[in-house]
């Protein structure tokens, strides 16, 4: 089935990169490659929302931060709550992001276009300011000393050096699973309904599609991807800071989805992996945010259908 | 169905936008298995009436009963689930989707799989997807669109797009098909083909309600016609009856408001 090619290509690329990195004794790169995977989860979720349901969110860093901070608080100051099963911090982070997505999604998704973008932008600002104003969340210092979390079968989400290879595979397995689920969804009845909504809401409704419910469901799903990325990265990094909730982070995710061509989760993952990795390696230096802002402007001006459309004409997947 | 054989019964319907009373105490009925036309001059309220039946907005007052159950106030997707399907005056096919995919969206009310099954993939949804695909291909074949199944819907010529939109609306096997000016923008030959197509749909058992400007189409295919003028019901009857109605003649030939 050709639609699973992106998943297989991702799996192959992940293995090849790890072998190459190990062969060249450059395993220190695995740290940023792992972090890039968790950020790519956000891009992937946002790709479903923007590319298929046609809804723009400029607040997805907010969901990432909600996942990350929930997991961090439950693993540090709130450790007594889930002390019996510390791994619960991950599902708790995901659940927190999903719950907030439902609460804000119901009113906000009534808006369209620019209004929706502005409402989600405001949501991102609110999350950012709440973090900076709340002592429990460490305010400007963030939360540090977030412990590693043991999963099953000896897997541990941790940034410790001996666990680098394991964590690299764990993170990218999460992305591959996320991509697999996304490809499944897009090929299904619900995926068709989402594309129909993107194309024409009135016509989709006239065909029996519950437009409001579909939009909310994919909004929550995209928040779940972001929340999982945030929760995992907090454990991997051993902490989280308020910068994760910043508006420029949200703009960055939008730019990555746009560069990936909106309607192609596989390309979005590839673009996100490469650019996020370069950014984490400091390649863009002090111009980091500017690079992503410029990328967004350039994509909108020159390749609104995504970078792959700059290639010679070919059949779209 | 109600005892008198009417699939759709509209009673005392009122609607206004701001201070403009666009539907003023309109009532009519649509017999099961018939083609019913709604005609009237521009601004008569035809499209508003049509959109009220389709659920695009809720009427200010009055009742719309379909198969004996109230429709007024239901959102469009619930109206569709009850067995009413529609086309649009300016065709609204889904861009970036093939002709077949457009028709498959039309099968939405006849398929069940939701979000979780969609995430689980073909193991959960494969059989239903195959059924949806086969049934959609069947609808395309029936309307002579089979060879176009893989084409991007918006790449087709305008006349073909209109037929694809009807195929999409038929995919849900509606009991009532609402056609909004199906001949609009078609040339005379295409209009004649459209008339044949609509008759064929009726003959296969689907009741049709058609809003139309093109008199030859309406008079040629409709079993009954409702004439609207300035938001009011002017006349109702067979095409022959309404054509002989003095009030209808006056609004069309323009006694005072041409």
Mutate to test the interface with A, among B52, B54, B71, B76 (most CBs of A within 10 A): B76
As assigned by CATH, the class of the B1-83+174-258 domain is alpha beta
Distance from CA of B122 to the nearest CA of A (A): 7
Question: What is the model's pTM?
Answer: 0.91
pLDDT at A314: 44
Nearest to A220 by CA among A94, A116, A119: A94
Q: Chain A contacts of B118, Cβ < 8 Å? A: 184-185, 188-191
Q: Does A110 touch chain B (CB under 8 A)?
A: no
Q: What is the DSSP string of chain A?
A: -GGGHHHHHHHHHHHHHHHHHHHTT-TTHHHHHHHHHHHHHHHHHHHIIIIIS----S-HHHHHHHHHHHHHHHHTTTTTTTTT-GGGHHHHHHHHHHHHHHHHHHHHTTS-HHHHHHHHHHHHHHHHHHHHH-GGGTGGG-EE-PPPEE-STT-EE---GGGHHHHHHHHHHHHHHHHHHHHHHHTSHHHHHHHHHHH-HHHHHHTT--HHHHHHHHHHHHHHHHHHHHHHHHHHHTEE-GGGG-HHHHHHHHHHHHHTTSS-HHHHHHHHHHHHHHHHTTTTGGGHHHHHHHHHHHHHHH-TT-GGGGSSP----
Mutate to test the interface with A, among B105, B123, B151, B172 (most CBs of A within 10 A): B105
pLDDT at A11: 97
pLDDT at A308: 65
Closest Cβ–Cβ partner in A196, A202, A208 for B109? A208
Q: Chain B contacts of A197, Cβ < 8 Å? A: none
Nearest to B54 by CA among B92, B104, B99: B92
B176: β partners: B84, B207
pLDDT at A270: 95
For chains A and B, CB pairs below 8 A equal 104
pLDDT at B254: 65
Contacts of A5 (CB under 8 A, 6+ apart): A266, A317
ipTM value: 0.92
Burial A69-97 (b: 16+ CB within 10 A, else e): bbbbbbbbeeeeebeeebbbbbbbbbbbb
Chain A residue with Cα closest to B102: A196
Mutate to test the interface with B, among A48, A49, A183, A203 (most CBs of B within 10 A): A203
Nearest to A259 by CA among A247, A268, A251, A249: A268
pLDDT at B258: 39
pLDDT at B255: 54
pLDDT at A317: 42
pLDDT at A122: 95
Tell me the pLDDT tens digit for each residue of B70-80.
Answer: 999 999 999 99
Q: Chain A contacts of B127, Cβ < 8 Å? A: none
What tens-digit pLDDT sequence spans chain B (258 residues)? 455 689 999 999 999 998 899 999 999 999 999 999 999 988 889 999 999 999 999 999 999 999 999 999 999 999 999 999 999 999 999 999 999 999 999 999 999 999 999 999 999 999 999 999 999 999 999 999 999 999 999 999 999 999 999 999 999 999 999 999 999 889 999 999 999 999 999 999 999 999 998 888 898 999 999 999 999 999 999 999 998 999 988 887 765 543
Q: Are A192 and B118 in contact (CB < 8 Å)?
A: no
Tell me the pLDDT tens digit for each residue of A69-82.
Answer: 999 999 998 888 88
Closest Cβ–Cβ partner in A187, A190, A196 for B114? A190
Give the span between the Cα atoms of B228 and B39, in whole angstroms.
Answer: 6
pLDDT at B185: 87
Q: Where are the domains of chain B?
A: 1-83+174-258, 94-172
Q: Are B108 and A208 in contact (CB < 8 Å)?
A: yes
Q: What is the mean pLDDT of each run of 10 residues along chain A (317 residues)?
A: 91 97 94 98 95 90 98 92 89 98 92 86 96 95 93 88 94 98 95 94 96 94 98 97 95 92 86 95 92 89 71 48
């Amino acid at each position: 089935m050709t639609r699973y090619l992106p998943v297989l290509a991702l799996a192959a690329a992940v293995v090849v990169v790890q072998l190459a990195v190990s062969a060249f004794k450059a395993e220190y790169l695995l740290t940023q490659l792992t972090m890039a995977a968790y950020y790519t989860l956000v891009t992937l979720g946002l790709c479903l929302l923007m590319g298929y349901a046609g809804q723009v969110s400029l607040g997805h860093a907010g969901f990432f931060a909600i996942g990350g901070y929930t997991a961090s608080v439950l693993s540090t100051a709130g450790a007594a709550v889930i002390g019996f099963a510390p791994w619960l911090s991950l599902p708790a982070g995901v659940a927190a992001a999903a719950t907030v997505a439902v609460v804000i999604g119901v009113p906000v998704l009534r808006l369209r276009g620019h209004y929706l973008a502005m409402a989600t932008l405001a949501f991102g600002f609110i999350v950012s300011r709440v973090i900076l104003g709340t002592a429990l969340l460490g305010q400007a210092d963030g939360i540090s000393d977030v412990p590693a979390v043991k999963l099953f079968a000896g897997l541990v989400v941790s940034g410790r050096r001996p666990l680098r290879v394991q964590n690299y595979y764990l993170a990218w397995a999460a992305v591959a699973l996320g991509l697999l689920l996304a490809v499944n969804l897009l090929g299904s009845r619900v995926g068709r309904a989402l594309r129909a909504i993107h194309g024409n809401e009135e016509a989709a409704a006239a065909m029996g599609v519950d437009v409001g419910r579909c939009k909310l469901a994919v909004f929550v799903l995209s928040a779940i991807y972001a929340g999982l990325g945030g929760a995992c990265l907090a454990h991997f990094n051993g902490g989280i800071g308020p910068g994760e909730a910043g508006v420029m982070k949200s703009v960055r995710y939008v730019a990555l989805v746009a560069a990936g061509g909106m309607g192609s989760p596989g390309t979005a993952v590839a673009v996100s992996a490469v650019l996020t990795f370069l950014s984490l390696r400091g390649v863009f230096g002090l111009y980091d945010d500017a690079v992503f802002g410029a990328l967004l402007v350039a994509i909108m001006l020159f390749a609104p259908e995504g970078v792959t459309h700059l290639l010679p004409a070919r059949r779209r997947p | 169905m109600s005892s008198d054989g009417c699939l759709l019964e509209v009673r005392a319907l009122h609607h206004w936008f701001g201070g403009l009373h666009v539907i003023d105490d309109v009532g009519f009925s649509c017999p099961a298995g018939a083609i019913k036309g709604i005609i009237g001059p521009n601004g008569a309220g035809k499209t508003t009436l049509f959109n009220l039946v389709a659920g695009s907005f809720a009427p200010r007052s009055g009742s719309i009963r379909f198969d004996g159950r109230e429709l007024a106030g239901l959102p469009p997707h619930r109206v569709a689930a009850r067995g009413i399907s529609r086309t649009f005056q300016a065709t609204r096919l889904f861009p970036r989707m093939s002709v077949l995919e457009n028709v498959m969206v039309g099968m939405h009310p006849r398929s069940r799989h939701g979000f979780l099954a969609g995430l689980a993939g073909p193991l959960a949804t494969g059989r239903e997807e195959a059924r949806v695909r086969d049934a959609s291909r069947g609808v395309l074949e029936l309307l002579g669109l089979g060879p176009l199944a893989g084409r991007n819907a918006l790449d087709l010529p305008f006349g073909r797009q209109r037929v694809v939109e009807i195929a999409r609306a038929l995919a849900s096997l509606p009991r009532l098909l609402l056609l909004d000016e199906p001949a609009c923008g078609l040339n005379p030959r295409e209009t004649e083909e459209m008339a044949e197509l609509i008759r064929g749909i009726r003959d296969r058992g689907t009741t049709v309600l058609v809003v139309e400007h093109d008199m030859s189409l309406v008079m040629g295919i409709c079993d009954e016609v409702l004439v609207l003028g300035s938001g009011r019901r002017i006349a109702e009857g067979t095409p022959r009856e309404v054509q002989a109605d003095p009030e209808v003649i006056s609004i069309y030939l323009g006694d005072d408001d041409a």
